[in-house]
Amino acid sequence: MTTTQATVIGLDAPDARRLGLVGGKAANLAELISAGFTVPGGFCVATAAYAQAATAAGLDAVLADPDDLAARARAALLAVEVPAGVAAAVTAAYAGLGTDVPVAVRSSATAEDLPTASFAGQQDTYLNVVGTDAVLDAVRRCWASLWTDRAVSYRETAGIDHQGVQLAVVVQRMVDVDVAGVLFTADPVSGRRTRTVIDASPGLGEAVVSGAVNPDHIVVDGAGDIVEHRVGDKAVAIRALPGGGTEHVARTGAAEPALTDAQIVRLVALGRKVEAHYGAPQDIEWALAADGTLWLTQSRAITTLHPIPASTRPGMRAFLCVSLAQGLTRPMTPMGIAAFRVIASTGSRLAFGVPVPDPHVGPPALAEAGGRLFIDATAALRNPVGSRIVPQIFDVMESRSAVVMRELMRDPAFAVQGRSPLPFLRRLVRMLVRFRIPALIALALARPATARDRVDRIGERMRAHTAPPPGNATARERLDHAERVLSTTFPVLPRVVPVAGAGFLMLGLAQKLAGKALDAGSMHEVLRSLPHNSTTEMDLELWAAATRIGADAESAAALRDTPAAELAAAPELPAVLARELAAFLREHGHRAVAEIDLGMPRWADDPTQVLGVLANYLRLDDPERHPDVQFARGAQAAQRAVADVVARVPGRLRAAAVRAVLGRMRELAGMRETHKDYLVYMIAQARAQLAIVGAELAAGGLLARPDDVFFLELPEVRDALDGADHRVAVAERRADYARELRRRHIPRVLLSDGTEPETLVTPEAVEGAMVGTPASAGTATAPARVVLDPVGAHLEPGEILVCPSTDPGWTPLFLTAGGLVMEMGGPNSHGAVVAREYGIPAVVGVPDATLLISTGEQVTVDGAAGLVRKELA
């Protein structure tokens, strides 16, 4: 069939593959028809027809008012007749199929069945429609279904503009179905790309798609072997009725497989052929006719799968998401990833003696996928030494990752191999000697104050080294400076980390000496309010600034009455507020949310979050909740806890040793935040120079806006200074970045075949509770506040903060929180440490906490047991 009018297009016409004319579903069906797949024929009522109906319905005026938008838009479209010209074209096209041919009338929005957003099931489909009047009515109802509550909500969640969405309608011949269902060319749960997953049931596929039936579930591996064939009861079948419509038919008798092995083989082959055509895993709807014909009724990309890190190394590989382990759930900007490639290249050369040919490419073990940094941990997991050390590191850093890695090592592909540990140990010893780490640990243990002073001097030299070039420096000189700062960042870290490391060595020794006297609850207490913690000190400085601001009526009123974003953009602030903000930003303006990403604005660039936190602090009326009071109370509790532990240790000498070791621990462990502060400072200095370069490129018309420079990589910036125009690439990367920002689930570990091992690890269940890792002892019951981004977040005093993860940009919120629940982290991750210091109960590593808990729900956090429970209203 060819085009009959501008509003109706045959699925076999070239125009039917134009997304803007026919929507995602129709364009995909037309593409499959042109590629030779067996697809039911028909036609498409193009988006131009919907546009006519929308104009007749006065939809623009409806969309101008967001209140009850979905219901009013639906009502407006249902109230109008199908425009006469459209009705005539549809009538002619339908007659062209035959006399009263049964058809399926299916919505096809321009925002569905896309490579990046499936939009599956958001608009309506009508099956076994017979007769011209029925087809026209179904078309009109499909138009209205663009404005179902679920479709409107989905678009808002996906960041799709309502004004830009159009709807076409597909009209296809019905198939005489024997069995139908869905097929995924990758396991949609585990992500494994080599598996085909099939759900099948007798009758129309709507029974499977809608969840009305318990279908057969079949899993076929990459070798073609059926590894699972679970026969469902298939208690209901949806059948077409003569004359139009469908009926639900109850099925009785023993459940039998809906498909034979031979039919399964045909389906797997079809799935792989479609996947090869599109070059990506597919979600397919299929139907097997009574005459044996296998029909393809729909195919769309599986948009929920996380991209796989690229690797040139052979065999199965295990990738650990290092950005997630650092508490960063959002994607990193391209420049943020580029910065870490340079930093990691220096680390590879200096720490392990493995030079990297091109620092802009980074070490072979470092990979990117979905805007996140991964490291190939395969060699470490297979190494006799690495297999013990790496999970132990993650026990305290991100404990759920440690669980996943230990389970992964049960897989023969990642089991410890019989190779000698000597090469690994030689590299480790080389790093320890090169950076004098044993000597630095010994100095810290013998003279903690001297070691801390040495770290301060390193910080002073770092600031001098990263000082910006003169004001008249060229853009190329500024780029050179930024690269020089990044290439010298790594050597700072191993000179600073050993001080805090010595503290944690003392903690481990205390555990061995004290035995059961230092249980989990006591451990949390002795770690409270650690001194010399740069993040805690920063928070307390901000609190002190808030108290001074609160004493000035004009400044306090400005914070109380003006949104933080407006204050941040104001040309002038009240004097006291301006002075205190400037003083704070001089010391801490390099910090930010997601601060390890060079592309993220610093507080000095945009102080909105700082002003919001100051406003929250002014609402703390209870003196007992003041941060300085809480910190002092935590320090006293830690002293009592040390005394209690010592009192329970048998033997005077052993008890004295435990007291001394815990004392040393408290003098050193708080320094755990210093190396992160230094790292972020150096990243911020590089960012500042690149921002100036970006402004120059934007002024020259080579970038659309100055901060587009952070969506380039370092060599591309150099090319741009030579005149290269990267605006198209930047626009594409910004779109990718925006899409990845909406991804809620990020894999901790990802295999090279797409498998997410965590999906195969079942946590030990506790009835009625979400299970995580104990992080800070205590119990709190209060309303939950789910926060995905701390900028502009409002937290009432005492509420339970539920969040994906935290970095220092989040910690001011802790001062008003009554408890903490995090999806990421371990007992010594940033959030856990700060929670202990402020004495609030915390549980970390709770999978999907931000999805399972809603703001306002009453929850109980048991920080010692690692449990989170919802309370009945």
Give the residue numbers annotated as catalytic, written as ranges: 830
Taking the C-alpha atoms of residue 206 and residue 219, their distance in angstroms, rounded to an integer, is 21
- Give the distance between the most distant pair of CA atoms in the chain: 99
* CA 847/CA 788 separation, integer angstroms: 15
Q: State the Cα–Cα distance between residues 847 and 209, nearest whole angstrom.
A: 27
Distance CA 531, CA 485 (A): 30
Half-sphere exposure of 13 (CA within 13 A, CB side): 21
Contact 549, 559 (CB under 8 A): yes
**What would the two tokens of residue 545 be?**
């600034």
Inter-residue contact 374 to 324 (CB < 8 Å): no
Q: Which amino acid is at 232?
A: G
| Contact indicator for 858, 871 with CB cutoff of 8 Å | yes
Please tell me what DSSP assigns to residue 529: T
Q: How far apart are CA 829 and CA 833, in angstroms?
A: 6
Edge-to-edge order in the sheet of strand 125-129? 8-10, 42-45, 167-173, 103-109, 125-129
DSSP-H helix ranges across 79-131: 84-96
**Look-up: residue for tokens 């100051």?**
614
Q: What tokens does 230 get?
A: 């679970």
Instruction: Kindly state the tokens that stand for 240.
Output: 């077409």
Residue with the two structure tokens 């299916």: 106
Structure tokens at 202: 């007798």
Find out whether 232 and 257 touch, Cβ atoms under 8 Å.
no
Q: How far is CA 476 from CA 480, 693, 710, 720, 768, in A?
A: 6, 8, 16, 10, 60
E strands, 560-677, in order: none
Distance CA 370, CA 374 (A): 10
Computed from CA positions of residues 454, 456, 462, 467, in that sequence, does the dihedral angle turn out positive or negative? negative
Q: What are phi and psi of 189, to 5 degrees?
A: -95, -55
Q: Can you tell me whether residue 516 is helix, strand or coil?
A: helix
Is residue 138 within 8 Å of residue 102, measured between CB atoms?
no
Question: Residues 203, 211: contact at Cβ < 8 Å?
Answer: no
**Class of residue 449 by CB neighbours under 10 A (exposed 0-12, middle 13-18, buried 19+):** exposed
* Cβ-based neighbours of 33, under 8 Å, separated by 6 or more: 11, 12, 16, 39, 41
Alpha helices in 46-165 (DSSP H): 47-56, 59-63, 69-78, 84-96, 132-145, 149-158
Cβ(394)–Cβ(826) below 8 Å: yes
d(CA 113, CA 25): 6
Contact assessment for residue 783 and residue 361, using Cβ atoms and an 8 Å cutoff: no
- Look at phi and psi of residue 515 and say left if phi exceeds 0, alpha if psi is from -120 to 50, else beta: left
- DSSP code at position 446: H
Query: For residues 395 and 151, what is the distance between their CA atoms, to the nearest angstrom?
Result: 42
What CA–CA distance (Å, rounded) separates 104 from 175?
A: 9
Q: Which structure tokens are listed for 490?
A: 């790594």
- Rounded to 5 degrees, what are φ and ψ at 205? -70, -15
On whether the CB atoms of residues 793 and 612 are closer than 8 A, the answer is yes
Half-sphere exposure of 608 (CA within 13 A, CB side): 14
